[in-house]
């Protein structure tokens, strides 16, 4: 029978709650907190190392099937009282299921990137919902991986995890503070590097030939790509728009750009 935790002052609970709220602590520990029955099961099915499983008695009755799969891989299991679960939760209506998971090893080295695929690079994306949505779309379309450049928000934050619908568990991603040096590496390795810009003088994304492996760069929600990144890329592309809007948000832009990049591979017209 799993141990019951009844106090919000329990050290195990306090550490888990801190993983939810503090990016620095997550990086220091190499751990992150996942919330929700489906997302926790997704982590287990995706091969993520689950250090600790927490669930309420109510959750054990409602999410029996989900918990069964998670329990088979979890190293430690605790039952928690609802008021304790509330401390761990980042949502308004918590399901009472949480997992402390280990971060994936080796996902932050560009040297590990596989040639022959198309990639997306993001610079200074600040909205966790945007980042999660981009990762979800990238996985769905078959993008080889995502490079997170500059000061992107933490990929392991609760909002990114939820918005990505589990893509964080499976999609290769690479952390690179200096995107300009990364572009030099990509160019030397034979990748085409394209900066997405809201500029009618740039090549229309619909007319680009994506026969060669490509890295497509998308910038910050408000400011776009930095001038240094645009200058370092081998070319610039833009999304042709017939309406009155001057730009799209980062996740919408990235979705259109990735679709065009993967259209021939996916069999699109």
pLDDT, tens only, 1-48: 799 999 999 999 999 999 999 999 999 999 999 999 999 999 999 999
Tell me whether residue 47 is exposed, middle or buried, using C-beta atoms within 10 angstroms of its C-beta: 0 to 12, 13 to 18, 19 or more: exposed
Q: Taking the CA atoms of 173, 262, 40 and 152 in sequence, report the sign of the dihedral they define.
A: positive
Q: In this predicted structure, what is the pLDDT of residue 269?
A: 46
The structural domains of the chain, with segments of one domain joined by +, span 3-102, 110-266
CA 76/CA 49 separation, integer angstroms: 11
Q: Span 3-102: which CATH code?
A: 3.30.1330.30
Tokens 């009155």 belong to residue: 244
For residue 216 the two structure tokens come to 């497509």
Q: In this predicted structure, what is the pLDDT of residue 263?
A: 85
Contact 86, 94 (CB under 8 A): yes
Q: Which string of b and e fits 216-237 if b means at least 16 CB within 10 Å?
A: bbbbbbeebbbeebbebbeebb
For residue 157 the two structure tokens come to 């934050």
Q: Which CATH architecture has domain 110-266?
A: 3-Layer(aba) Sandwich (3.40)
Residue numbers of the chain with a pLDDT score lower than 70: 106-108, 242-248, 265-269
Does the fold of domain 110-266 match that of domain 3-102? no
CA 194/CA 191 separation, integer angstroms: 10
Listed in sequence order, the residues at least 6 apart from 48 whose beta carbon sits closer than 8 Å to its beta carbon are: 101, 102, 104, 169
Selection from 225, 212, 211 nearest residue 254 by Cα: 225
């Amino acid at each position: 029978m799993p141990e019951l935790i009844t106090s919000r002052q329990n050290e195990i609970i306090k550490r888990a709650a801190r993983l939810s709220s503090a990016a620095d602590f997550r990086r220091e520990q190499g751990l992150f907190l996942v919330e929700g029955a489906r997302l926790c099961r997704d982590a287990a099915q995706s091969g993520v190392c689950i250090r600790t499983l927490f669930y309420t008695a109510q959750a054990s009755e409602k999410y029996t099937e989900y918990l069964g799969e998670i329990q088979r891989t979890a190293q430690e299991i605790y039952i928690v009282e609802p008021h304790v679960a509330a401390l761990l939760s980042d949502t308004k209506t918590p399901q009472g299921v949480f997992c402390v998971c280990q971060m994936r090893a080796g996902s932050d080295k560009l040297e590990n990137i596989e040639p022959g695929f198309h990639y997306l690079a993001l610079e200074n994306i600040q909205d966790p919902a945007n980042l999660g949505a981009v990762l979800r779309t990238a996985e769905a379309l078959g993008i080889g991986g995502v490079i997170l450049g500059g000061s992107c928000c933490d990929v392991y934050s609760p909002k990114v995890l939820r918005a990505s619908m589990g893509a964080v568990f499976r999609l290769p991603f690479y952390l690179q503070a200096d995107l300009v040096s990364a572009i030099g590496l990509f160019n030397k390795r034979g990748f085409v590097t394209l900066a997405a810009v809201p500029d009618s003088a740039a090549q229309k994304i619909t007319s680009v030939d994506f026969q060669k492996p490509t890295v497509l760069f998308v910038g910050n929600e408000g400011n776009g790509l930095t001038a240094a990144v645009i200058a370092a890329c081998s070319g610039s592309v833009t999304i042709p728009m017939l309406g009155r809007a001057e730009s799209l948000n980062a996740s919408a832009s990235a979705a259109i750009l990735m679709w065009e990049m993967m259209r021939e591979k996916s069999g699109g017209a």
